[in-house]
Structure 1
Amino acid sequence: MDEIKILWVDDEIELLKPHIIFLEKKNYIVQTCISGTEAVEAVKDTNFDIVFLDENMPGLSGLEALSEIKSIRPSLPVVMITKSEEEDIMEQAIGSKIADYLIKPVNPNQILLSLKKNLDHSRLISEKTTSNYQQEFRKIAMDLTMVDTPEQWVELYRKLIFWEIELENIEDSGMTDILESQKAEANSHFGKYIEKNYENWFKGSSDMPLMSHTIFKDLVSKQVNKKTPTLLVVIDNLRYDQWKSIEGIVNLHYKKEKEIPYFSILPTATQYARNAIFSGLMPSEMERLHPELWKNEHDEGGKNLYEAEFLEKQIRRLGMDIQWEYHKISNLKSGKQLAQNFKSKKDNDLTVIVYNFVDMLSHSKTEMEVVKELASDDKAYRSLTQSWFKNSPLLNIIQQAQQLGFKLIITTDHGTINVKNPSKVIGDRDTSLNLRYKTGKSLTFNEKQAYAVKNPKAIHLPCLNMSSSFIFAKDDMFFAYPNSYNHYVSYYKNTYQHGGISLEEIIIPFILLNPRN
């Protein structure tokens, strides 16, 4: 055990000598003071781990000393020791955030228990979490050799995310490293699984999961009715673990009815996946049926400008007689404007909001050094997402929706992955620019690091010319050209990208929620 320094403050400290000897035999270092004034000076000079503070002392009282100690070291645990549990004294002490309180006369075991509770709490939780994950590690490793359906992959990914979030609060970085290596292994298996099965899903395979182009018809439309308004929020780029980071905040206002992770189509990119959600069609069908709305890779202009038009056509195709509105929020100003006017949406049967913050965050991480610092890894990325959500107009909109009795659906179009390893690719000047997928003619690439589709029509993607193909990066790879290779790799390494094949990009949240009364 590291040396733990205790400050014990009591005007009758000599009477506590047996207690102090008891603690010193347990290898605690105990410094004593006989007044609140002395205690405040001691805290200024020494970095104590915990303070035992007598409430009833002459001069500076225990409560007054507590206030000054907290102003110097806000996070220092202080255990108040009182002669009686007087209500007003305890309320003041608890309001000043004491760690614990004890009633005189105290015995050595009470002191020891308080130390364990306040200083060893995080260690004990850490040890329990580590032990539980070590047991689960073996089960996940066995599951990885047998997982072979979309449902099994969803369950496995949920487990990995659960343990990733559990382990982020413990001090044993070794366990986090083990989990990271297990996630990497899972992604390697998942890439092979997608490569083996993805094309078959579009040939009538019974194993086909819920996907981007089916979730509106199969899930959203069944929730919409004229009795209760529904709010559909599509948060661009929201990974499953990022949903978990904001779930607790949403739960203050809404009760989760169902959580239905679904599979993004390939490429896991906004142009393809989000248009598929709103049109209810695969990209090649969008191109064929609505050429005025669909834009291919090399067409000029925005690729997601017609989501409302796609949605209108799908609603009409499904025969839904509803009043609905669509809103895209891509900056703080438009988010605040919608929040201010949200009450006017209560008469809609369906209100759709596309919120672009997380997508902007991932792009900013590539371009801005400050965001690279703030979102240096997945833990920080989750934390930044949570911080944004807590202070966003979107949370205000969700709070209003709850008060107005809206059902709530939260989902996304695709996830994103922190890319770490470059994969060389060669293509002509018309090859698409995305780092996690490429489409073009005569692509040269490492076949072990990508899933190649020579006939895009087989997976319902547009075919720009007779020899066009698609390749999708697997694992945490990103495509890099041989020209200026080192500069390119250095610039994009450890940035969040999407478009390829990974658990993070493909398995994404779809959440149905009912307002809390």
Structure 2
Amino acid sequence: MSEIKVLWVDDEIDLLKPHILFLEGRNYNVTTAQSGTEALQEIEKDTFDIVFLDENMPGLTGLETLAEIKEQQATLPVVMITKSEEEYIMEEAIGSKIADYLIKPVNPNQILLSLKKNLDHSRLVSEKTTSNYQQEFRKIAMDMSMINSHEEWAELYQKLVYWELELENIEDTGMFEILESQKVEANTQFCKFIDKNYSDWFGNNDDAPVMSHTLFKDKVVPQLANKRTLMVVVDNLRYDQWKAFEPYLNNAYKKQEEDLFYSILPTATQYARNAIFSGLMPSDMQKLHPNWWLNDTDEGGKNMYEKEFLGAQLKRLGLNLNWSYHKISSLKQGRRLSENFKSHKNEDLTVIVYNFVDMLSHAKTEMEVIKELASTDKSYRSLTESWFKNSPLMEIIQQAAQLGFQLIITTDHGTINVKNPSKVIGDKNTSLNLRYKTGKSLTYEDRDVLAAKNPSNIHLPSINMSSSFIFAKGDLFFAYPNNYNHYVSYYRNTYQHGGVSLEEMIIPFAVLSPK
């Protein structure tokens, strides 16, 4: 570790000699100053890692010196030391972004703790996090080999996301690479689990998880009793992205419940989101509401009738509610709803579908700038977080809290960064999605896909008699042999959905109440 340079400013600096010797004995290089003016001169001619600053000095006061220091070097940590316990001084100092606040008399260990907290914090956290994950790594690896239920997979995925968020800010990139390889292995095992169990989750199966088509009945309806509710479905939102922006809700809401549920296959908007609003699987939507359901190869928007599907589901469930539905696909629409949100204050249920994350992930394949900004899961999370805290959605949620609405936040499916191509051949009527294909006479690599040769087994509609579905596993994406290299380089390292992975299928559902 390189030598740490400390500037200590106090008009009675001679009385602090024992403290200074104590720090020098631990290899800190301490420069002293007896006034604010002297301190500013030292800062001009030398570079310091931290400043200890007495508040009560003749001439320039500590607060005045602090203001000057911050003007010259905004990021230099300053620890204020004062005899006074007056609240206004604390508030002034904290408002000026001090690093710490100590009350005299200070002992050497307090000073040492403050130094470690401010200068060694990231190293100490990094070392502790690394050591904790190393212990957890073995446990996760053992758990993975024994998991045999959808609850255990949801728990394991939560654990992996927890460690991903813990490790993303530490200095040891080697640990992060180990976690990435563990996620790949987890997805390999998870695909085997889905292949074996998915078709058994339909019908009257008590072991089935909550899924897209049962979410509203099982999770939303119980929350609606005598509580006005704002339900926000953020399209394409992964669990790790939800965890990244959840803290921004803390001023307005407190969390009552957080759960994970399973998106149906394909993990694509027209299937999964229509299933949430209709309370039906796709083959039943096609049968009961042929005017509202479009197959992959049909012309037109595939999610045009979510409001009608929701109305039909509410009627079927015998719920006589005052409700409204809003789909937001642009900044302009979001602002308009934010401006008019108070007009919904007497509704039992206000539903908002927010398309931003979906637009972002699709734009990433089209726009080099977005591709650059969201090249990894970490930067993709950061981008989502930045959008959320500055979005009309945040304004709407704050208004909802003031009006006493409880808040439900969920999504239709997640998304995965695709890395590896898998060759597929189909006729001109084959669907275009990169993570699933439906059509007849599909040729593909067996090991790369979960295949549904009879779609009705998993409640999916058939475009024609011999149609089948295939779903890409893990981080694979489908590519046609013609113009293969161009296609692969264009789509590799983009965010896609429709296939089988923890990231796409295991997704968040949270209930929050206003503070």
TM-score by length of 2: 0.93
- Which residue is equivalent to 1:179? 179
The residue identity in structure 1 corresponding to 2:357 is V
- Which residue is equivalent to 1:98? 98
Query: Post-superposition shift, 1:409?
Result: 1.6
- Which residue is equivalent to 2:368? 369
Q: Aligned pair in 2 of structure 1 residues 432, 510: CA closer, same or farther (>3 Å)? A: same
Structure 1: distance between partners of 2:80 and 2:250: 35
Structure 1: distance between partners of 2:89 and 2:152: 56
- Which residue is equivalent to 2:317? 318
- Which residue is equivalent to 1:221? 221
Matched, 1:297 2:281: no
- Which residue is equivalent to 1:30? 30
- Which residue is equivalent to 1:112? 112
CA offset digits 1:239-283 (Å, max 9, x no partner): 111111222222332232222311100000001101111111111
Query: Post-superposition shift, 1:117?
Result: 2.6
Deviates more, 1:315-324 or 1:184-193: 315-324
- Secondary structure at the aligned position of 2:353 is classed as strand
The residue identity in structure 1 corresponding to 2:281 is M
Query: Post-superposition shift, 1:328?
Result: 0.7
Q: How many residues get paired?
A: 515
Structure 2: distance between partners of 1:255 and 1:10: 44
**1:49-128 paired onto structure 2 within 5 Å:** 49-57=49-57, 59-82=59-82, 85=85, 89-102=89-102, 107-128=107-128
Query: Post-superposition shift, 1:84?
Result: 5.2
Q: Aligned pair in 2 of structure 1 residues 320, 63: CA closer, same or farther (>3 Å)? A: closer
Structure 1: distance between partners of 2:105 and 2:201: 72
The residue identity in structure 1 corresponding to 2:478 is F
CA offset digits 1:93-144 (Å, max 9, x no partner): 3332222344566554443232123222232222222222222222211110
- Secondary structure at the aligned position of 1:410 is classed as strand
Query: Post-superposition shift, 1:6?
Result: 1.8
The residue identity in structure 2 corresponding to 1:252 is N
CA offset digits 1:342-361 (Å, max 9, x no partner): 22222322221111111111
- Which residue is equivalent to 2:466? 467
The residue identity in structure 2 corresponding to 1:238 is L
The residue identity in structure 2 corresponding to 1:352 is V
- Which residue is equivalent to 1:137? 137
Structure 1: distance between partners of 2:84 and 2:206: 70
CA offset digits 1:336-381 (Å, max 9, x no partner): 2112222222232222111111111111222222222322222222
**1:277-426 paired onto structure 2 within 5 Å:** 277-426=276-425
Segments of 5+ residues of structure 2 without an aligned counterpart are: none
Structure 2: distance between partners of 1:322 and 1:89: 54
- Secondary structure at the aligned position of 1:297 is classed as coil
Q: Aligned pair in 2 of structure 1 residues 12, 325: CA closer, same or farther (>3 Å)? A: closer
Matched, 1:498 2:490: no
CA root-mean-square deviation = 2.2
Segments of 5+ residues of structure 1 without an aligned counterpart are: none
Q: Aligned pair in 2 of structure 1 residues 80, 222: CA closer, same or farther (>3 Å)? A: closer
Query: Post-superposition shift, 1:196?
Result: 0.9
Structure 2: distance between partners of 1:212 and 1:190: 18
Query: Post-superposition shift, 1:171?
Result: 2.1
Q: Aligned pair in 2 of structure 1 residues 91, 320: CA closer, same or farther (>3 Å)? A: closer
- The percent of aligned pairs where both chains have the same amino acid is 72
Deviates more, 1:29-38 or 1:456-465: 29-38
The residue identity in structure 2 corresponding to 1:23 is L
- Secondary structure at the aligned position of 2:212 is classed as coil
Structure 2: distance between partners of 1:64 and 1:295: 68
Q: Aligned pair in 2 of structure 1 residues 68, 309: CA closer, same or farther (>3 Å)? A: same
- Secondary structure at the aligned position of 1:267 is classed as coil
Query: Post-superposition shift, 1:459?
Result: 1.0
The residue identity in structure 1 corresponding to 2:269 is T
Structure 2: distance between partners of 1:108 and 1:263: 55
CA offset digits 1:374-412 (Å, max 9, x no partner): 222222222222222212222222222222222322111
- Which residue is equivalent to 1:208? 208
- Secondary structure at the aligned position of 1:451 is classed as strand
CA offset digits 1:218-251 (Å, max 9, x no partner): 22233334x3322221111111111112222223
Query: Post-superposition shift, 1:322?
Result: 2.0
- Which residue is equivalent to 1:160? 160
- Secondary structure at the aligned position of 2:255 is classed as strand
- Which residue is equivalent to 2:454? 455
Query: Post-superposition shift, 1:90?
Result: 4.4
Structure 1: distance between partners of 2:159 and 2:446: 30
- Secondary structure at the aligned position of 1:510 is classed as strand
Deviates more, 1:52-61 or 1:454-463: 52-61
- Secondary structure at the aligned position of 2:350 is classed as strand
Q: Aligned pair in 2 of structure 1 residues 19, 352: CA closer, same or farther (>3 Å)? A: closer
Structure 2: distance between partners of 1:108 and 1:403: 48
- Secondary structure at the aligned position of 2:213 is classed as coil
